Structure 1
């Protein structure tokens, strides 16, 4: 784990995590991040304490007298006598263990003793969400983290905790959950331990399943989730059959009527033409016929006049 932390720090990934711990109470549990730093509050004000020491496994590692550091065997540490704080930087696994705080009066007599436990944990560096659709339209989502000792998982959907109506199996504290067919939204997986808290968000949508409740063509009642794109169990007509039939019938009658009008107009035109033609012929036969020789006409008229005389 230390090699992984070192590699990530080498490529520029910052894993320096600062934690704080109040060691003024007996049997306090403190946590520090691997590669990070921890501030341990040892005293309220060291100016009122003539002398105090810090021991690890019965070995004295820190000795402060009259606000002056007399002994400090941890090289990567700092002491702030004015506020009684002891800081350990660049934490390693070796820094974990039980520490004892001793207070001593000016005569060198012990006036008190208390212990604290320091736990070193690797922080969570990243979180990955992977989702997959199952055969019945459910969605399985897994949450994995890089690094992190004793990780704890929690889930939210659109900013709220997942409910039993949305979870098919699993719970909000596991790293794998199964969502029901209708669930969609912004899903967040949070991974935390005592020294870090990292989350990852992912937009999820349904797997394309729909819930049907209908009667099939053969009269069977069907109820359940089916894949919408392949659904052939309950087919609803896209248009009203009665309306379609009426529309088609009306269109047919219109076409027949139009054809009838064309035929009637054609016969009417022919009839009018022949009527006009016949009328012209009759008018031509009613006019007086002219004699071919005008001289004969005059002679006949003169002879008629003479006879009357």
Structure 2
């Protein structure tokens, strides 16, 4: 016997989905799908005569897509061609609407003509879909134990649970609760670019009916149908008997008249 509880309380935490990275960071850069990504290339862009961003696909400097930046503007940019939502402002690469194809390994090359030097640095960019709405449901078993389920849409999802503010087991999308658990349980869902939470109120599971009672309820209508069928058969037999009895209500003269008409 499974019972689903209604949701009583909803709390959602929505973080700002604009992401900020820089080319010399040691950890990967995470961008939120369909949101804004800011990547700092260099703080003092005017010191450099030329800059180049190249996405490493085949690890070939002559064929991999490149975007050259000169005097703070993108030039000869086949890396972000036909994408008006991409720009370079004050040494920062700005992608106003991140797409899946923006994931990958990038190399930034800086040219300084005063000493004819070239420096480069790399950056790993990972695009993740942010957490969508969070759904929580609770089911009761016949023994009174509860299981709570949490579901959501997004990439690289991590789950965590709390009961009345206290932490529970992390890492799973469902959790078992002891019989008699009462209070508010929260499911927190997060990835590298977003975080959402939903809280529901849980109460003790109601006691279920004994198995014998359930079986009796299921069998009883069949028994009634059988009795009704037998009664119908008895009624049909009674009708035949009743019809035969009707003939006895005729007078003797009527019987003789009918008998004589038949034998003629």
TM bin, normalised by shorter chain, reads 0.5 to 0.7
TM-score by length of 2: 0.63
Q: Per-residue deviation at 1:112? A: 1.2
Q: Is the 8 A contact 2:138 2:147 kept in 1?
A: yes
Gaps of 5+ in 1: 1-15, 163-170, 209-226, 231-309
Q: Per-residue deviation at 1:39? A: 0.8
* Match of residue 72 from structure 2: 67
CA offsets 1:42-80 (integer angstroms, 9 cap, x no match): 112212333221111243533223434434441231111
* Match of residue 21 from structure 2: 21
* Match of residue 112 from structure 1: 119
CA offsets 1:68-127 (integer angstroms, 9 cap, x no match): 44344412311112xx21111222221111100111111684421111111111111111
Q: Secondary structure at the match of 2:132?
A: strand
**May I ask how many residue pairs the two structures share in their alignment?**
187
Q: Per-residue deviation at 1:158? A: 2.2
RMSD across aligned positions (CA): 2.7
Q: Is the 8 A contact 2:54 2:65 kept in 1?
A: yes
* Match of residue 194 from structure 2: 196
* Match of residue 156 from structure 1: 162
1:141-290 maps to which residues of 2 (within 5 A)? 141-145=148-152, 147-162=153-168, 171-208=169-206, 227=207
Q: Is the 8 A contact 2:161 2:170 kept in 1?
A: yes
Gaps of 5+ in 2: 1-15, 211-264
- Quick check: 1:50 aligned with 2:49? yes
Write the distance in 2 (CA, Å) between the matches of 1:53 and 1:38: 18
- From 139, 143, 153, the equivalent of 1:132 is 139
Structure with greater contact order relative to length (CA < 8 Å, sep ≥ 6): 2
TM-score by length of 1: 0.55
- Quick check: 1:30 aligned with 2:39? no
Write the distance in 2 (CA, Å) between the matches of 1:109 and 1:184: 71
CA offsets 1:267-289 (integer angstroms, 9 cap, x no match): xxxxxxxxxxxxxxxxxxxxxxx
Question: Which protein has the larger Cα radius of gyration, Structure 1 or Structure 2?
Answer: 1
Structure 1 stretches of 4+ with a deviation exceeding 4 A read 227-230
